[in-house]
A and B are shown apart, each in its own frame.
Chain A
Amino acid sequence: MKAYFGRRYMLSASHRLHCDSLSPEQNRAAYGKCNNPHGHGHNYVIEVLVGGLVLPGTGMVIDLVELDAVVGAQVLDRFDHANLNLDPLFESEVPTTENFCREVFSLVSNHLPAGKLEYVRVEETENNFFECNNM
């Protein structure tokens, strides 16, 4: 029996959208307020959905405690109350929420103890969110 288990987490981080290969004018045109040199921050909501067979012994797709440990170690400890631009992952990549979402997907997917990561959704604000899946 295949089912999915989902969990929502929150982290607060700052970022600045700026691309070194663009001129200052082009950066301002592309990113607007998000190009502010001093950065700005968000309360990001990270939603993960794990698919897999419901294990007969536990009735679970994945143990919540194990999922929390992976997301905690790989994502929350790394990015919560941090400046995304200073993380090595964003040395040569703009920390848009699209790119952040893709990086979170890789970090969680590579360390998942059970099941398969179906998607990661990152909500940047209540009105903007991004999803990344394996396709």
Chain B
Amino acid sequence: MIFLTRRATFSASHYYWNPEWTEEKNHAVFGRCANRNGHGHNYTLEVTLAGKPDPVTGFVVDLKWLKDVIEREVLSVYDHRHLNLETPEFKSEIPTTENIAIAAWRRLEPAIADAGGAKLSRIRIYETPEIFAEYRGES
């Protein structure tokens, strides 16, 4: 099995807020991330696929194809957007780094599965160079 990773970046704004909590509790739990005017990050997304190299091309998947899938499924929705206000999944979920990793998996997994061959193995998303989250699916 070979693991292949493609990296992409996007910039977006967000804030953390649980509508079921009081304003005081939101500020106590989320600190500066609860500022309702939002703040932003340069996110780095790493998409890792697992598969066997094709006997003819030697590719697990065509990286240009994977780049286009990431662009279409994730970057076109998240890049230069306010995640809380402009993406359907974060109308109800808090756009923490963990939840963005899960949401990116859900956006990418069907397109990758439909293509056959390689499987999505891991999503890693860096909110800053020092903070990241990972999702490996439910298996």
- Interface hit among A33-41, A57-65, A78-86: A57-65
Residues of B within 8 A of A6 (CB): 124, 131-134
Are A65 and B31 neighbours in the complex by a CB distance under 8 Å? yes
Q: Does B78 contact A (CB under 8 A)?
A: no
Are B98 and A64 neighbours in the complex by a CB distance under 8 Å? no
Are A3 and B101 neighbours in the complex by a CB distance under 8 Å? yes
Contact with A along B125-139 (1 / 0, CB 8 A): 000011111111010
Are B98 and A61 neighbours in the complex by a CB distance under 8 Å? yes
Complex Cα–Cα for A4 and B130 (A): 14
Number of interface residues of B (CB under 8 A): 26
Complex Cα–Cα for A60 and B29 (A): 11
Residue of A nearest to B126 (CB): A6
Residues of A within 8 A of B21 (CB): 57
Tally A-B pairs: CB < 8 A.
60
Are B135 and A3 neighbours in the complex by a CB distance under 8 Å? yes
Are B134 and A4 neighbours in the complex by a CB distance under 8 Å? yes
Are B131 and A3 neighbours in the complex by a CB distance under 8 Å? no
Residues of B within 8 A of A65 (CB): 31
Contact with B along A5-39 (1 / 0, CB 8 A): 11111000000000000000000000000000000
Q: Does B61 contact A (CB under 8 A)?
A: no
Q: Does A1 contact B (CB under 8 A)?
A: yes
Are B29 and A58 neighbours in the complex by a CB distance under 8 Å? yes
Are B98 and A3 neighbours in the complex by a CB distance under 8 Å? yes
Are A59 and B98 neighbours in the complex by a CB distance under 8 Å? yes
CB distance from A2 to the nearest CB of B (A): 7
Instruction: Tell me the A residues contacting B by CB distance below 8 Å.
Output: 1-9, 49, 54, 57-61, 63-65
Other than the given A3-B102, A5-B134, A8-B129, 5 more pairs (CB < 8 A) read: A4-B133, A5-B132, A5-B133, A54-B99, A54-B102
